[in-house]
Amino acid sequence: SLGAPQLAGSEAARGPLYGFLDMVEGAQRSPSGCDATKIRILGSAQYKIVEDDQYPDDVPFQVVTLGDQLLLAAVPGEPTTELGLEIERHVQAKAKGIAHYAVLGLTNGYSTYWTLPGEFLAQHYEGGATLYGPYQGILAIDQLERLAGELGQPWAIDYRPYRVFSPGEPTHFFPGTRNCDEEDWEAGDTIVHAESVDFSWDGIPDDQHCPYPEVRVECGGNLLHDPQGYPQSDRWFPFQIWREGKHRWTARWSQHAATTADCRIVVRGATKVLQSELLPTREP
């Protein structure tokens, strides 16, 4: 179904209907059925305008390799950054020995956005535009991981006798150094809410292009996992991270795991590590 936040627009550009009939980013309902927290555009009347058979029943996933230099994992829509990172991690574990991995969107089909469960449940623009429910992103991970595991099988099409791939010197999309200028990074405030914790810091300014640091919860120096085994880091779904102004960043951790007496939110750059104040000891 189509979610109301989809017509609201994103932080980058609000739609003209923003604020009308629940068309607000983050508008949610109590979880129920396949739509979970999604508020449908026009409610049940949506199905009188867009019928079930107008949504695609089949969408194409592809894994393509160019020799042992590049693997492309293709999604028929717009995957979020976090989903792309998870796809890359799972595909890389299945198809080892390849120099570079990339996740492509908008390939051979368009089924709007693809999000992880937490992104769907938050019902921002991307979650509202995810058609098939909170586990749509997990489906993409499973399908591409399966395809990556079938590389080299007899039924996998192999063009190697006819194609030669000779890459040139490695280059980077953004000019300049790979590492951020981290000397001026400084830890800020730690604010504890009822079910979440905010940690702010001064970090990458808006005019500097470099890889983002990893944000995670560590207890005794070790990455924290929730009872289901999911890591509490920005590579999964318990974090919301945003920049305010030129270089002020805030990470909000929605607590999904118990914390002990030595837990902190940690920002790990290439050369510098920032830590929040000690988190309160409590159950999730």
CATH of the domain at 216: 2.60.40
The pLDDT of residue 55: 74
pLDDT > 90? residue 113: yes
* Count of the separate structural domains present in the chain: 2
Q: Nearest CA to 98 among 171, 151, 62, 159?
A: 151
Domain final position from 165, 197, 232: 165
Cα of 199 vs its chain's centroid, Å: 20
Say if CB 17 and CB 8 are below 8 A apart. Answer: yes
Has residue 219 got a pLDDT over 80?
yes
For residue 284, tell me if it sits in a domain.
no
Least confident of 30-34, 55-59, 253-257: 30-34
More confident residue, 37 or 238: 238
Residue 15 lies in a domain: yes
Say whether 202 sits in a helix, a strand or coil. Answer: strand
274 and 185 in contact (C-beta within 8 Å)?
A: yes
Question: Which stretch of DSSP H or E encloses residue 200?
Answer: strand 196-202
pLDDT in tens, 150-209: 998 887 776 655 555 566 666 555 455 456 788 889 999 999 998 899 999 999 888 887
- Integer Cα distance of 103 and 83 in angstroms: 10
* Structural domain includes residue 174: no
Q: Domain containing 128: what range?
A: 1-165
Among 165, 195, 226, identify where a domain stops: 165
Between CA 266 and CA 277 the distance in angstroms is 10
221 shares its domain with 126: no
Residues 73 and 210 in one domain: no
What is the rounded distance in angstroms from the CA atom of residue 236 to the CA atom of residue 36? 19
- Residue 153 and residue 20 in one domain: yes
Q: If pLDDT is split at 50, 70 and 90, which confidence band does 121 have?
A: confident
pLDDT of the residue at 114: 96
CB count in 10 Å sphere of residue 187: 19
- Rounded to two decimals, the pTM is 0.54
pLDDT digits (tens, 9 = 90+) for 12-22: 666 666 666 55
CB pairs under 8 A, 24+ apart, for 256-261? 256/226, 256/230, 256/232, 256/284, 257/217, 257/224, 257/225, 257/226, 257/227, 257/232, 257/284, 258/282, 258/283, 258/284, 259/217, 259/219, 259/224, 260/219, 260/220
> In this predicted model, which residue has the larger pLDDT, 52 or 100?
100
170 against 68, higher pLDDT: 68
Flag whether 175 is in a domain: no
Instruction: Tell me if 179 is assigned to some domain.
Output: no
Q: Rounded to an integer, what distance in angstroms lies between the CA atom of residue 15 and that of residue 101?
A: 35
Model pLDDT, residue 70 = 95
Across the chain, mean pLDDT equals 83
In this structure, the number of other CB atoms found within 10 A of the CB of residue 284 comes to 13
One domain for residues 147 and 225: no
280: in domain:
no
pLDDT attached to residue 23? 63
pLDDT at 154 (0 to 100):
80
Domain boundary among 110, 134, 165: 165
Is residue 114 located within the same domain as residue 199? no
Mean pLDDT of 264-282: 91
The answer to whether residue 170 sits within a structural domain is no
Q: Which amino acid is residue 150, in one-letter code?
A: E
Do residue 18 and residue 75 come from a single domain? yes
**How far is 176 from 8, CA to CA, in rounded Å?**
37
One domain, residues 195 and 153: no
With CA atoms as reference, report the closest residue to 251 among 262, 242, 260, 264: 242
C-alpha to C-alpha distance for 79 and 82, rounded to whole angstroms: 8
Residue 219 and residue 108 share a domain: no
Residues above pLDDT 70, as percent of the chain: 74
pLDDT score for 239: 86
Asked, for residue 77, whether it belongs to a domain, the answer is: yes
Q: Are residues 157 and 201 in the same domain?
A: no
Q: What is the pLDDT of residue 222?
A: 93
213 and 124 share one domain: no
Residues 218 and 119 in one domain: no
Residues 153 and 57 in one domain: yes
Whether the CB-CB separation of 78 and 106 falls below 8 Å is answered with yes
CB of 150 within 8 A of CB of 170? no
